[in-house]
Structure formats: C-alpha cells, structure tokens
C-alpha cells in the first residue's frame, strides 16, 4: 500500500491520472475501520515512546485542495493520541508580520520539538503553489524555492526530524459535491468562502503545479505520498499507516530507568 502511493524521487506523480477513489486494497469501510483501530493502538504506544525518548520528532505535512479532507484526516488519525505530544499548525495566507520575513520563518518556528509529533495543515508548499497560481511573487522567486526546501528538509532530517508528506488527492467532482455540501449544511457553511470558487476554477492549474513541485521535492530523506482522497476511510487509514510506518522505522526507545529500582516497594 505504502509503496503504491509513494512518489519515488525524481519521478512525476501524475496526480491527474491517479484514481482518487482507489481503495488501496482496504476493501470496505468496515475492513478499513478495523485496520484503523489496530493502527490507532500502535500509534498511541509509539507516540508515548517518542515522547518519553525526547530526542527526535515526527512531522506530518498535509497538502491538498479545498475539501480534500485535511481537517478530517487530522481528526480521525490522531484520535486517542496524547495531545500533550502533538502540535497541529494550520497555515493561512501570511500576515503582514509573517510577510516581513522569509517564507520559511513561520514554518520553522512551528516545527515540533523533540519528542513531539507535528502536524502541518498546509505548509511551506503553499509558498510554491499558491503564490504561483495567485501570482503573489514573481516567477523567479517561487521557482527557486523547491531547491531551498529540499535542502531545508535535509537539514531537519539530519537534526532528528522524520518527515512524512501527504498530498490528499480529491477529484474535481468529489470536490464539487463537498463544497456544495458545505453551502447547504448550516453547520458547515462557515467553512465556505467565495474565494474557494476561484480556486476551484483553477483546479487543473493547481494540480499541475503540485505535480511539478512534488516531483522536485520528493526525496529519499523526505518523500511525498499521493493519497486517494475521495473516500474518507481510505485516506484516514492510509495516513495512519504512514505515521505508524514512520514511527516503527524510527523505533523510539524508552529512557533507561534510574539504577536500583529493582525490587523497590512504594510504601
């Protein structure tokens, strides 16, 4: 499953040609849900160890168009994970003080500390894609950024952060339905902004821009995964599997207990 969605370094993901309804072999919603229960248990234990070890960090970078389900993934994947060891950051259009610095400034300041899992809801990849499509900076500025990002992420890995980068691939039709649902449901309407329609109108341009940046920045040290996102149970289970896989490879170790605890009785 993981090999199927991994973007091998130097290859183009061809997002538009991928099936956003792929079930990745999970079979049914029920089967995926049972699988997710198992992953939750593993994730909880591994996170506790990562926290106890207090030496390294794990960062999940979530990208995807509007209504691709980034918020839902965060909710569903991290159910049962100790909030004390987690840090979720949502990146919006930069404020004036953020714009007074380089584009990685706010991102760097939001990284997880040692022992923590960081979750980026959008990320520095907006500084390549959104700024490109919306023409917020000249072409030469966003074009050189993938190169910075590859090196910056290499530094993070060298310094003890494992990166998992997931692009949630929602189809145009599924996005239409979800945006309509947001409009129609009073509980969801707050999420809808008219500007979402402008973004939707450029759906294909966004996908093409992601295709390019993902090819440029999927590396051995920080690979991208393109997750089929039309079905919520597929993407939550897939992202949970990516997190568990990353943590199992990190294999966090509990600190050595103090000497002389053997046989000690608390009275």
Give the binding range for Mg ion (CB under 5 A) out of 66-74, 151-159, 182-190, 231-239.
66-74
Nearer to ligand AMP, 127 or 215 (CB): 127
The binder of ligand AMP chosen from 9, 72, 94, 146 (CB under 6 A)? 94
CB of 131 to ligand AMP, least distance (A): 5
Position with the least CB separation from ligand AMP: 126
CB distance 114 to 56 below 8 Å: yes
72 binds ligand AMP (CB under 6 A): no
Nearer to ligand AMP, 52 or 137 (CB): 137
204 token code pair: 């294909």
CB of 127 to ligand AMP, least distance (A): 4
The binder of ligand AMP chosen from 127, 153, 215, 230 (CB under 6 A)? 127
Nearer to ligand AMP, 40 or 76 (CB): 76
Give the binding range for ligand AMP (CB under 6 A) out of 31-39, 124-132, 139-147, 177-185.
124-132
Applying CB under 6 A, the residues found at the interface with ligand AMP are 66, 91-94, 122, 126-127, 130-131, 136
């Amino acid at each position: 499953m993981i090999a199927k969605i991994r973007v091998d370094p130097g290859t183009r993901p061809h997002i538009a040609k991928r099936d956003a309804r792929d079930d990745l072999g999970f079979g049914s919603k029920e089967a995926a849900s049972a699988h997710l229960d198992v992953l939750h248990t593993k994730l909880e234990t591994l996170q506790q160890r990562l926290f106890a070890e207090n030496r390294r960090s794990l960062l999940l970078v979530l990208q995807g168009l509007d209504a691709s389900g980034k918020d839902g993934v965060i909710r569903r994947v991290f159910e049962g994970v100790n909030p004390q060891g987690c840090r979720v950051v949502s990146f919006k259009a930069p404020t004036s003080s953020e714009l007074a610095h380089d584009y990685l400034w706010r991102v760097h300041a939001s990284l997880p500390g040692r022992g923590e899992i960081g979750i980026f809801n959008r990320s520095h990849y907006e500084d390549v894609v959104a700024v490109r499509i919306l023409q917020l900076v000249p072409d030469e500025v966003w074009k050189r950024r993938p190169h910075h990002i590859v090196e910056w992420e290499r530094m993070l890995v060298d310094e003890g952060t494992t990166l998992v980068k997931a692009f949630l691939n929602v189809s145009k039709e599924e996005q239409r339905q979800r945006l309509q649902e947001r409009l129609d449901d009073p509980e969801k309407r707050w999420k809808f902004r008219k500007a979402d329609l402008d973004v939707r109108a450029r759906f294909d341009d966004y996908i093409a821009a992601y295709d390019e940046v993902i090819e440029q920045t999927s590396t051995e040290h920080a690979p991208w995964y393109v997750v089929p996102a039309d079905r919520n149970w597929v993407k939550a289970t897939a992202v949970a599997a990516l997190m568990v896989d990353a943590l199992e490879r990190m294999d966090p170790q509990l600190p050595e207990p103090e000497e002389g605890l053997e046989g000690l009785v608390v009275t």
